[in-house]
Amino acid sequence: MKTFAELNLLPPLERALKEQNYKIPTPIQAKTIPPALEGKDILGCAQTGTGKTAAFALPILDFLGGDMRKARSGRPQALVLAPTRELAIQIGDSMRVYGKHLKLRTALVFGGVNQNKQVREMQRGAHILVATPGRLLDLMQQGHIQLDELEVFVLDEADRMLDMGFLPDIKRVISKLPSDRQSLFFSATMPPKIVELASQLLSSPFRVDVTPKKTSVKKIKQKIVYCERSEKVGLLHKLLRGEDVGRVIVFTRTKRGANTLAKKTEKAGVPVAVIHGNKSQAARQKALKAFRAKKVRVLVATDVAARGIDIDNVTHVVNYDLPNEPESYVHRIGRTGRAGAEGIAVSFCSGEELDYLDDIEKLIGIKIERDPNSVKPAWKPKPKQGGGQRRGGGSTSRRKGNQKGKRSKSSLGNSRSSKRGPKRGKRNTKENRRSVVA
């Protein structure tokens, strides 16, 4: 497939794509959309920044938009589950942009804000629901949302879901899904737990893999700066004064560390914005808006808060703290060097982070350049993980009742007797589809 026109999408979708100047699908879109349009389950391995959202959004909109169906109160027909509020908002925005000429409603459900507006949206009726696990389960328990009429389920960034401790919540959501549904499952990595979850969720899935066997970070210039922990602040401030340094995202391992670093950097005369899980939704959106508008050129962030953020022209990523999970390193530095632009990733490495560095280099398959002016510190034990990221995206009122232990396949709603393929049959020809939406 060379162009979006070859996808045979509904005319209103084609119109919206033309307005966005979308002409050539990305690899994940070209490989995912055709089988998804046929109603097949999808197992996709793709990182952020690959065009993944359109890969599942367009088939959903094409399927729901062709039947002129009405939205029922509290009963969505498609559900997209995302790990963070920011990602949920971005997906919701994309659904509205692509579906602007269709009579479909999209609702957002996420924690960190009052639920009343979200409840009203669900009562009004929404065809598509984009949600984070915590708030979704809250509203399901309160009776505001039921999934018995769901036809399409998308689990986005499954590996990040597991990193945030959402596995029990995901299984609870899946157990409420109808067995006769289409499921699309996306993850940047495929560790054993992810493969196991996918096998429970999907039925004879079509596999899409746009991630090379060795994680590719070759387009980004990477450098390790050895240092003592006490030297990191000074090194960062020196880097920020560089002439070639534009917009910078600085990653810390903990929320407390992000706040402390931001205060010290502000005190040094460099305005910064901060995002992490303890910030309110309004504060996080305000920080991102200021960074996008170039009112501040430095964004200090934690992994969970920054996942899914898509901001162009980030010249540098600084790993103030190396991540304890090597996959997070790839996601972090992927914030720079986008759309063919050159990017620079600088990582500070103290003695207690040497083991993390070894894990990262094993994952990416290369030895990262060392700053010749820095001296390798003595090895120290890894830092304690206390005070780091907790689960985000929802309230905590329901968590005491979380069910523990593994579920069988049948309890995860996977024992279905048929697929949705036949339901799409009435729209197999473009002539039929055009008459439906005319």
User: Using one digit for the tens of pLDDT, what is the confidence trace for 186-219?
Assistant: 998 788 888 999 999 999 999 998 865 444 566 7
CA 48 to chain centre: 7
Q: At 283, which CATH number?
A: 3.40.50.300
Q: 323 by DSSP, 3-state: which?
A: coil
* Residue 328 lies inside a defined structural domain of this protein: yes
Q: What is the predicted pLDDT for the residue at 68?
A: 76
- Say which residues have a Cβ less than 8 Å from residue 213's Cβ, sequence separation at least 6: none
In this structure, the answer to whether residues 399 and 364 fall within a common structural domain is no
**pLDDT tens digits for 278-319?**
787 788 889 988 998 899 999 999 876 666 567 778 999 999
User: How far lies 65's CA from each of 147, 260, 334, 398, in Å?
Assistant: 19, 48, 34, 35
Q: Which domain holds residue 133?
A: 4-211+393-437
Closest CA to 41 of 190, 166, 208, 177: 208
Two structure tokens written together for 224: 């390790």
Phi and psi torsions of 75, nearest 5°: -130, 85
Q: Do residues 62 and 36 lie in contact, with contact meaning Cβ atoms separated by under 8 Å? A: no
What are the DSSP E strand ranges found in 134-212?
152-155, 182-187, 206-209
Q: Which helix (H) or strand (E) segment is 316 a member of?
A: strand 314-319
What pLDDT was estimated at residue 307?
A: 62
User: What pTM, to 2 d.p., does this model score?
Assistant: 0.61
Please indicate, yes or no, if residue 380 is contained in any of the structural domains. Answer: no
Question: What one-character-per-residue DSSP string does 407-427 give?
Answer: --TGGGT---S--SHHHHGGG
Within 8 A by CB and 6+ apart from 98, the residues are: 13, 16, 17, 20, 54, 57, 58, 61
Give me the residues paired with residue 42 across strands: 184, 206
pLDDT value of position 394: 43
Residues 90-109 as b/e (b if ≥16 CB within 10 A, e otherwise) read bbbebbbebbebbebbbbbb
Query: The tokens of 436 are what?
Result: 């439906």
Q: Looking at the 3D structure of the chain, how many domains does it have? A: 2
DSSP-H helix ranges across 206-292: 232-240, 255-267, 281-292
Query: Do 40 and 57 have their domain in common?
Result: yes
**How many CB atoms sit inside 10 A of residue 287's CB?**
22
Residue 42: predicted pLDDT: 97
Taking only the tens of pLDDT, the chain with its 438 residues reads 678 999 999 999 999 999 888 889 989 999 999 999 999 999 998 876 678 999 999 999 999 998 878 999 999 999 999 998 888 998 999 999 999 999 999 999 999 899 999 999 999 999 999 999 999 999 999 999 999 999 999 999 998 888 788 999 999 999 999 999 999 999 987 888 889 999 999 999 999 988 654 445 667 899 999 999 999 999 999 999 998 899 999 999 988 999 999 999 999 999 999 998 778 778 888 998 899 889 999 999 987 666 656 777 899 999 999 988 787 888 889 888 765 567 899 999 999 999 999 999 988 888 999 999 999 999 988 775 443 333 334 443 333 333 333 333 333 444 333 334 444 443 443 334 333 332
Q: Are residues 166 and 206 in the same domain?
A: yes
Distance CA 89, CA 410 (A): 32
Let me know if residue 314 belongs to a domain: yes
User: Are 285 and 141 in the same domain?
Assistant: no
| Tokens coding 139 | 């509203």
Whether 124 and 79 map to the same domain: the answer is yes
Domain check: are 160 and 229 in the same one?
no
DSSP at 203: S
**Can you tell me the distance from the alpha carbon of 424 to that of 164, in angstroms, rounded to the nearest whole number?**
36
